[in-house]
Structure 1
Amino acid sequence: MNATIAAREPQTLVRFVTRAYARFLLVGFALLPAYLIAYLYFFQNPALKFEDHLFHEIAIAAATLEGLFVAYVTWQCYRSSGEPLLRWLTLGFLGFVLIYALHGIFTGMAHHNMWLFLLYGPASRFAMSALLLAGLLSYNHPPDSTAKRSDPRGWLAWIALFVVVDLAVAWVAYSPIAGSLAVRLSMEGGAMILSALNVAALMLRRIRTPLMVIYGISITSFALASLAFILGRPWNHMWWLAHAIFAAGFFLLSYGVVQAFHTTRSFSNIYSQEELMARLAEATARTESALQELQRTNEKLKHLAATDPLTGAANRRQFIERVEAEIGRVRHGGTTFSLLALDLDNFKAINDAYGHLAGDEVLREFVHKCLDAIRPYDGVARVGGEEFMVLLPQAGLDKALAIGERIRSSVAGSAFNAGSGKPGEVTVSVGGSQFGRDGNTIDTILRVADERLYSAKHLGRNRVVIA
């Protein structure tokens, strides 16, 4: 017992250490952009710039197309699962695209109206972070109804709102307050605060499913991207780093959406490795139990198909199969075998006098008498109403005669229960045949055994005839 406990302790310790290490790696990965931000902030000249409008326009166009694709995939997941989180994610991606696209379109205006070019970036990030926070707050809420999922009016209303935001940003860009630092900082700082609240809520609610871990790392990237945008200046290295950080978070979040699409279509119900192993173990146990039950059922059905339901003896089909197997054994060098054909004498009189229920009880008792009289490897089969056959492997007619007499005397010397428990006298007539001596086919030896059975009947019943 102590050895077992000692063997388990290192495994528990290793499990704890590896879990802590995995969480440390996740936190380190999530905070990686912070190291890059600190490096540029403390060790790079903020006046260094890389101003390339074409490159910026291509990057924004690629981000817009990516955003539209991810919004579509997220929407498909939402239509399937109805998960509110996916609805808000779809709106977050869609809102970001419809606002952020103008940031690329107005790149050429950077020298004419800097704010018309610049303000659409923080506006898109602010809108997206607000919608993602709403999504997290709806985590694990009941799914939306099918009608709500398919109703286009709600989506059109949000698209109209995003267009209004675009117009509002344009109005601010041409207004006297556009040059105020507070305008840009309020949107970029608001996006950073909302993203930070998103991460805090995720941690406080202890949401640790695999896709929500990806979600948390992505939101952390969005918060750090907003911080980099606040610290950076248009076209300098910090500004470009902010774009790269945001893109990395966006791509990571889109990866989570695609994973949801290819699995459960739900952002909540993706299982961790431990959950998958537990579910696999449960499914395996259920499968094994089902297979065992199926095996038991098949065995039961096989038994029912091979036995007579009244007496429990083999039925005619099973008996024929066993005789054919014996013939094959003999033809491959085995010793001969014999058959006994048995028929209860005057059985109709028992049914007429006591009823069929009493007759059924007599048949059951008769089978028990036969089983007691034959060898363990012999077989009894019911082939008709009161007609039975006994297969005697590795037995000639002399052995068949001895076993037939044992059955006959056992039956004749016993009192069978008849109607109302009254004892009745029962006798049996027996005919026997031997394979090879009386025929080399199953039909022949069966016919010979029947003929000798009828001879026993004609000779006065209650006897065994084997020649």
Structure 2
Amino acid sequence: MPPFNDGPIISVRMHMDMSVKIGGQPEVIRRVTKIYARLLIAGFALSPAFLIAYLYLFQDPGLKFEDHLFHEIAIAAATLEGIFVTYVSWRCYLSSGEPLLRWLTLGFLGFTLIYALHGVFTGMAHHNIWLFLLYGPASRLAMAILLLIGLLSFNQEPDAPEQRINPRPWRIWIAAFLLTDIAVAFIAYSAIAGSPAVRLTMEGGALFFSAVNIILMLAGRIRSPLMTIFGISIVLFGLSSLAFILGKPWNHMWWLAHAIFAGGFFFLSYGIIQAFHTTRSFSSIYNQEEMVNRLAMAMVRTESALQELQHSNRMLEHLASTDPLTGASNRRHFIERVDAEIARSRRDNLSFSLLALDLDNFKAINDHYGHQVGDEVLQGFVQKCLEEIRPYDSVARMGGEEFMVLLPQATLEVAVAIGERIRSATENAVFDSIVMPKVILTVSIGVSQFGRDGNTIDTIFRAADERLYRAKDQGRNCVITT
């Protein structure tokens, strides 16, 4: 196997080393930049708090913007977006089965089904302000609770496929949201509707559950990219509830609260879309450092797999071209080598020769001593051939005790000399065997030369075979060229 290529690892290490050299104190810089990044995220998430404080301290109570049509259009747009994001979240959940995505889907669905009536009853603002007003905090409270449950399910085992497509739980939740709509309408027409505690309980509850959500995220050190988006959105939802508590219908604080909540809704929707276009999971998106490390490891594994595949291919090629007993080339591979040599000889006007070899009386060795001894003799004979031929010559077992040797760029005289070396080495060798310690062996050889004896593979093979038979007829243990 070729040496393992750790190029991808070296590339990653070089990148890290360069970072170390540029900074002078890389660990300090790394820590400072991480702290700075977290401060940026916190500052971005909390930036609406400055606007809330500004309006709370300097807002003119008499300034209001009451436009029912604008409000209805905004709520209609929010409802359509809520339906779309609910569907995308549900598709992600069906794909990954992640419990967090199930609760996110329910959070979007519950908010949409409840919040839509906030827009539908805009025209009721002058007749029953609570029928118009209470659906907003009710929708935010429901969403805050469901998002908190979703966070508690973070990194749990995926739901089973049959559980994901079971419609019954979804129908139950839709029924619960519709019952919430009816309950809010009942409260709006009840005697307690005008009590500040009703609206404060709903809006304060949404703020409370959002705060618990953030505390749990910080305590659990949940910092994956999409969960960071989740956390920022929760902060914005909480700040919007605070603005709603401080504001009054149609004043600037009230509109600011809508804008802050819309920002959180858009941001969380963006996270859902990112999940849909990547892993279909809300917790398995990696930050840049993790991506670099995973990419490097994937490249290393790929490189290792490729090298294993190349090694396996070479092994298969070797097995496909080699006689399994002797290690010599097999007939198919030898013919391919001869064809290639013929093409080269025609192109460069060169010649080459062939040796056809047959072990004398080999059948008697098998009959008297058994096939185990015969196999050991064949292996020993191939080793003798390899010792006597040139490094770029090749030996092939054509079948049984028949062999051939390809001698590139060898004239008939050179081929005869090599054939004599093989014959002499075989005659003088003693092939040791476990069963029969001393086996004497001789070989008959026929020689042909490309060009002199023919210009095709058939003609030179036939010439070598015919001369091999003559060597047998003339008493064996000899090299014949005519």
User: If the length of structure 1 is used for normalisation, what is the TM-score?
Assistant: 0.95
Query: How many Å apart are 1:195 and its aligned residue?
Result: 0.6
For 1:156 and 1:175, locate their aligned partners in 2 and report how far apart those are by CA, in whole Å: 28
**1:355 touches 1:419 (CA, 8 Å); kept in 2?**
no
SS in 1 for 2:446: strand
The code of the aligned residue for 2:34 comes to R
1:402-421 paired onto structure 2 within 5 Å: 402-418=417-433, 420-421=435-436
Structure 2 partner of 1:141: 156
1:41-80 paired onto structure 2 within 5 Å: 41-80=56-95
Query: How many Å apart are 1:412 and its aligned residue?
Result: 0.3
1:112-191 paired onto structure 2 within 5 Å: 112-191=127-206
1:241-390 paired onto structure 2 within 5 Å: 241-390=256-405
Answering whether residue 447 of structure 2 is matched by residue 447 of structure 1, we say no
SS in 2 for 1:179: coil
Structure 2 partner of 1:219: 234
Structure 1 residues 419 and 227, CA, compared in 2 at 3 Å: closer, same or farther? closer
Q: CA RMSD in A?
A: 2.0
Structure 1 residues 23 and 301, CA, compared in 2 at 3 Å: closer, same or farther? same
**1:416 touches 1:423 (CA, 8 Å); kept in 2?**
yes
For 1:65 and 1:326, locate their aligned partners in 2 and report how far apart those are by CA, in whole Å: 76
Structure 1 partner of 2:210: 195
**1:49 touches 1:235 (CA, 8 Å); kept in 2?**
yes
2:474 to 441, 459, 462: 459
Query: How many Å apart are 1:184 and its aligned residue?
Result: 1.3
Structure 1 residues 137 and 4, CA, compared in 2 at 3 Å: closer, same or farther? closer
Query: How many Å apart are 1:301 and its aligned residue?
Result: 0.7
1:430-445 paired onto structure 2 within 5 Å: 430-445=445-460
For 1:386 and 1:7, locate their aligned partners in 2 and report how far apart those are by CA, in whole Å: 71
Deviation larger for 411-420 or 215-224: 411-420
Moved over 6 A (4+): 2-8
Structure 2 partner of 1:109: 124
1:240 to 246, 251, 255: 255
Runs of at least 5 residues in structure 1 that lack an aligned partner in the other structure: none
Structure 1 partner of 2:439: 424
SS in 1 for 2:453: coil
For 1:429 and 1:4, locate their aligned partners in 2 and report how far apart those are by CA, in whole Å: 72
Query: How many Å apart are 1:368 and its aligned residue?
Result: 0.5
Structure 2 partner of 1:30: 45
Identity %: 69
For 1:262 and 1:224, locate their aligned partners in 2 and report how far apart those are by CA, in whole Å: 29
SS in 2 for 1:430: strand
Structure 1 residues 5 and 314, CA, compared in 2 at 3 Å: closer, same or farther? same
**1:354 touches 1:418 (CA, 8 Å); kept in 2?**
no
Query: How many Å apart are 1:104 and its aligned residue?
Result: 0.6
**1:83 touches 1:143 (CA, 8 Å); kept in 2?**
yes
**2:369 touches 2:436 (CA, 8 Å); kept in 1?**
no
**2:23 touches 2:29 (CA, 8 Å); kept in 1?**
no
**2:358 touches 2:445 (CA, 8 Å); kept in 1?**
yes
For 1:336 and 1:262, locate their aligned partners in 2 and report how far apart those are by CA, in whole Å: 65
**1:46 touches 1:233 (CA, 8 Å); kept in 2?**
no
**2:354 touches 2:407 (CA, 8 Å); kept in 1?**
yes
Deviations 1:107-166 (A, max 9, x none): 011111111111111111111111111111222223333443333332222222222222
Query: How many Å apart are 1:32 and its aligned residue?
Result: 1.9
SS in 2 for 1:383: strand
Work out the number of aligned pairs and report it.
466
Deviation larger for 15-24 or 225-234: 15-24
Query: How many Å apart are 1:247 and its aligned residue?
Result: 0.7
Structure 1 residues 335 and 144, CA, compared in 2 at 3 Å: closer, same or farther? closer
For 1:156 and 1:326, locate their aligned partners in 2 and report how far apart those are by CA, in whole Å: 78
**1:359 touches 1:418 (CA, 8 Å); kept in 2?**
no
User: If the length of structure 2 is used for normalisation, what is the TM-score?
Assistant: 0.92
The code of the aligned residue for 1:233 comes to K
The code of the aligned residue for 2:156 comes to H
For 1:145 and 1:442, locate their aligned partners in 2 and report how far apart those are by CA, in whole Å: 66
1:16 to 31, 43, 46: 31
The code of the aligned residue for 1:50 comes to F
